[in-house]
Structure 1
Amino acid sequence: MTILLAPMEGLLDFVLRDILTRAGGVDRCVSEFIRITDQLLPERVFTRIVPELLNGGCTLAGVPVRAQLLGSDPVCMAENAARLAALGPAGIDLNFGCPANIVNRHGGGAALLKEPDTLAAIVSAVRRAVPAHLPVSAKMRLGYHDDALAVACAQAIASGGADELVVHARTKAQAYRPPAYWERIADIRAAVAIPVVANGEIWTVDDARRCREASGCDMLMIGRGAVADPGLGRAIKASMGNGHAQVLGWPTLVPLLADFWHLICTRLDARSRPGRLKQWLNFLRRRFPEAEIAYQSLKTINDPALIDQWLAGEVQAHVAEPPSPSRLLQAA
């Protein structure tokens, strides 16, 4: 069983990738998208969004990161892919699934699922532009308004030369509303010769098992489920014969929370920092009763100094020794 960590714009950035890959169980990550419009981006844009490029294309836990591009012009996508490839990512991923209206209005993300020929042209141009050894993958939804073109889109992506395809088992119109239609991924798997990864609505080990049975996929991508339960990847692998996973409890999570806070304090202005911590706690309270208490304690606090005090108290209460600062702090 292979577990991939999903790209999630506005949530799963390099800071949270660093933290979640320390928890274990993740074999590969995909970055949040880098928007390509009509120009060749400077290298600093790629390294700002995917700073793992400065660490051999891996998180500090050693997990490979594929950098994701989003755009609709084959030539411009290819030029930027070539520049990105020179920076040493673990691969290049193409976004054909973003459901955001602002992205779709400009012809990017899931909007491209209305045009299978354009999908093939983009993948083909990118594949030709980057070295043969560098994997090129893509992520798609089942469609835009409906899933009538799901198989045609997958075949177009495969014919363009993609090495792997992630399928989020909902259309753009279905957004993130349950359920995910994993059985449609099985139809796509039967129609293409490249590896297919199942994605969508995997919150628990039982969800993962049902997704695997319905889709037939031995590779799963998890996003919000991993944010809510950082031990989910390890638990999925253990349940499917990849060893025994110790449950990740609150005392284990507290040092990761502390490191997360230290990291965002180096990257964001003081006014933005509390919101990022609360955002993660909001997800964590789905799984951890202690996170609910923490969220309620901090939801009206916006003073970073007070959050420092709260974290110090949590560390003292739950951890024998304070966590060491992340190495990413030193590399940043």
Structure 2
Amino acid sequence: MTTSPSSPAAGTHADIDPDTAGRPVTEPVTGAVSSASESARRESLPGAAENTGPGPGTKPYAGYLVGLADDAMVYAQRLGEWMTNAPQIEEDMALGNIALDLLGQARGLYPYIGSIDGTGRGEDDFAMQRDERDWHNVHLVEQERGDFADEMARLLWFSAYQVELHTALTGSGDDVVAGVAGKALKEVRYHLDHASLWVVRLGDGTDESHRRMQSALDRVLPYVAELFDDDGASVLAADRGAGVLPSSLRDRVEARVVRVVEQATLTLPEGSRWRSRGGRAGIHSRPMGYLLAEMQHIARSHPGATW
């Protein structure tokens, strides 16, 4: 692949993180709606597998999986807003592809959750028919699109978290969860690589890009701690061997971020006077309502419509 001087892919992946495999930033968008039937699309989703328990509602850790799926769904919506707004057309495609990866993670989990929580809900029910208090994502992913440096700081933290999360979940006692995690792990390693290259490029660039990247790390920090909060759902899932305690991921995630920040000649903020909390319990920040209004408008305006 020939890489233009303006592309972050011109960096050496091994300089950032030897664990990340990397892949072309401008890979084709593969998540577009095709002419295949809905049933064929569902069969390709790991999460569309039938519940193998004795009956519906027999796996009480469904609430834990909802939080993971909601993180991916909401952040996919936010990253999609960069289409035509990124600093270069290659980045429009790169962030669009990352958004599609996250959408795929959510689609892999939502049908399975509906089959084990006793509701029988499908992916559209989860994505388009729930009110704000029924969503269980962390505040980090719902914040408004800001400066491009803000997005790279947010993507750095979230993808580092997802790399460790899905690494752990590949050992889940639930075969569907392990399968979704195994597929997602290949994707989120690229997400981390992509964010890392941009953070280094901006941090170790001009005085202006350094200043803005440092400011972005400072602004994102108050939303990071919530990623590692243990709650009742995660404790239950971990006890059943299906999930992992978020707190157990923190040291490894921070180590990944620190390596990138140091290479970027930046300073990782030590703490903030305020931090977000409550997302897993359905308590969200102001941007969440606007995000859902935009995302759900068509489905709510035309209930039962198909396309």
TM over 0.5: no
Which TM-score applies when normalising by structure 2?
0.27
TM-score, structure 1 length as denominator?
A: 0.26
Larger strand fraction of residues: 1
Largest Rg, 1 or 2: 1
Q: Which structure is richer in relative contact order (CA contacts within 8 A, separation 6 or more)? A: 2
